[in-house]
Amino acid sequence: LDSKLPHVGTTIFTTMSKMAADYNAINLSQGYPGFDCYPYLQDLVSKYMNTGHNQYAPMSGVPALKQRIADKTLSVYDVEFDAESEVTVVSGATEAIFAAVTAVVRQGDEVILLEPAYDCYEPAVRLNGGVPVYVSLNLPDFSVNWEKVKAAITPKTRLIMVNTPHNPCGYVWTQEDLNSLAELIADKDIFIVSDEVYEHIVFEGKKHLPLFSHPALKERTFSCGSFGKTFHITGWKIGFCLAPERLSEEFRKIHQFVTFSTVTPMQYALADFMEDPSRYLYLPQLYQRKRDLFCEGLKDTGFEFRPAEGSFFQCVSYGHLSDEPDFDLAVRMTKEIGVASIPTSVFYHDKKDHKILRFCFAKEDEELERALEMLQKGI
């Protein structure tokens, strides 16, 4: 078969998680919580399954859940979206991103990707005939180089992909970042797909700024979220897209024929569960404690790092310790040291190796402590 994605193999997350299992290593590679969701949320799913909520949900989502998402967006960010026409529930942020890219990217359109970039962006662009244009984030702080973004914009630029809080770097966009982007695209016909799946995981009292919080950006943004990270349910694959009506209409045309609708009883359960905002507003506390625990231990490993501002990932540099390629080191550490991580070169189109590994700290404290003990023996 003449592959449409000739350079794509199995994702690094699958590869490293399998390797961690095969070698009985602590798996800090693939990003998922090492603890379960609330039993009450499970009870709600059972309740809805046992009361006949097992057939197709409405195409754009269960109305009660769409309303909850709109209400939460208003109360947390003070931004209004119409639950009926501007909120769509989908099967994970991965679907939201694919559908949003598909809705706007045409053959030959250029799409700006900020690297390192989460792995599902580029294939979505290419499958739609788009041409990825890569702009590297600044090192070592992973901030956005706005001069470089400006230089990358051409008359063919159709879309810019944004991710804040950032996976793998943990960078969180500032108001200046939002203003810079708004200024750059003010007189251009450019859309934004903003991946904000870690919206509730931000540290040091910093606030996540959704792109739609800037009125000029709101008009052009498909904002993609996920319940996976927020309620410790990555296996449920439920996400959502917030976008102005004219964008949501196009988005839904794609969603309608990719999955049509999303798993029914879970949507009802989430609508009930979101009634109490403390169920997601405690996440900065939960994860900052874990980040701090992990970073404290990292100080005795020889790795260099800047504590993540958001997300549940911590990047570390080891270039001063070794020349080993990051992929080789991640493999060797899994097999010999017993801790699996993600080599960040996979998030660069040319596999540029900055000698940075990513660890997921969304794990039980005891597991993090065991991992740190092993890492403290050195690479």
Report the phi/psi class of residue 302: left, alpha or beta, with left for phi > 0 and alpha for psi in -120 to 50.
Answer: left
Distance of closest approach, residue 96 Cβ to ligand PMP, in angstroms: 8
Can you tell me which of 20, 25, 27, 30 binds ligand GLN, judged by CB under 6 A?
Answer: 30
Q: Is 73 in the site for ligand GLN (CB under 6 A)?
A: no
Distance of closest approach, residue 187 Cβ to ligand GLN, in angstroms: 35
Residue 285, Cβ neighbours under 10 Å: how many? 10
Residue 14 amino acid letter: T
Number of residues that bind ligand GLN (CB under 6 A): 5
Reading the block at residue 315, the tokens are 């990047």
Can you tell me which of 25, 27, 28, 31 binds ligand GLN, judged by CB under 6 A?
Answer: 31
Number of residues that bind ligand PMP (CB under 6 A): 15
- Cα separation of 131 and 191, whole Å? 15
Distance of closest approach, residue 41 Cβ to ligand PMP, in angstroms: 16
- Cα separation of 98 and 239, whole Å? 12
Q: Are 186 and 216 in contact (CB under 8 A)?
A: yes
- Cα separation of 166 and 356, whole Å? 15
Residue 17 CA: distances (Å) to CA of 176, 337, 338: 37, 15, 12
For ligand PMP, give the closer residue by CB, 6 or 235. Answer: 235
Residue 164 binds what, of ligand GLN, ligand PMP, none (CB under 5 to 8 Å, by partner type)? none
Can you tell me which of 44, 103, 197, 298 binds ligand PMP, judged by CB under 6 A?
Answer: 197
Distance of closest approach, residue 9 Cβ to ligand GLN, in angstroms: 14
Q: Which residue has the tokens 């984030």?
A: 137
Name the residue among 197, 268, 265 with its Cα closest to residue 231. 197
Distance of closest approach, residue 360 Cβ to ligand GLN, in angstroms: 6
Name the residue among 161, 170, 156 with its Cα closest to residue 121. 161
Taking CB under 6 A as the binding criterion, the range among 78-86, 227-235, 262-270, 354-362 that sits at the site for ligand PMP is 227-235
Residues between 144 and 203 that touch ligand GLN (CB under 6 A): 167
- Cα separation of 19 and 130, whole Å? 33
Residues between 146 and 175 that touch ligand PMP (CB under 6 A): 163, 167
Question: Could you give the angle at the alpha carbon of 276 between the alpha carbons of 274 and 282, nearest 5°?
Answer: 95
Distance of closest approach, residue 11 Cβ to ligand GLN, in angstroms: 6
Residue 93 binds what, of ligand PMP, ligand GLN, none (CB under 5 to 8 Å, by partner type)? ligand PMP
Q: Is 311 in the site for ligand GLN (CB under 6 A)?
A: no
Q: Is 221 in the site for ligand PMP (CB under 6 A)?
A: no
Can you tell me which of 122, 177, 195, 353 binds ligand PMP, judged by CB under 6 A?
Answer: 195
Residue 58 CA: distances (Å) to CA of 65, 98, 197, 260: 11, 20, 23, 9
- Cα separation of 224 and 241, whole Å? 5
- Which residues form the interface with ligand PMP (CB under 6 A)? 31, 92-94, 118, 163, 167, 195, 197, 226, 228-229, 234, 237, 239
- Which residues form the interface with ligand GLN (CB under 6 A)? 11, 13, 30-31, 167
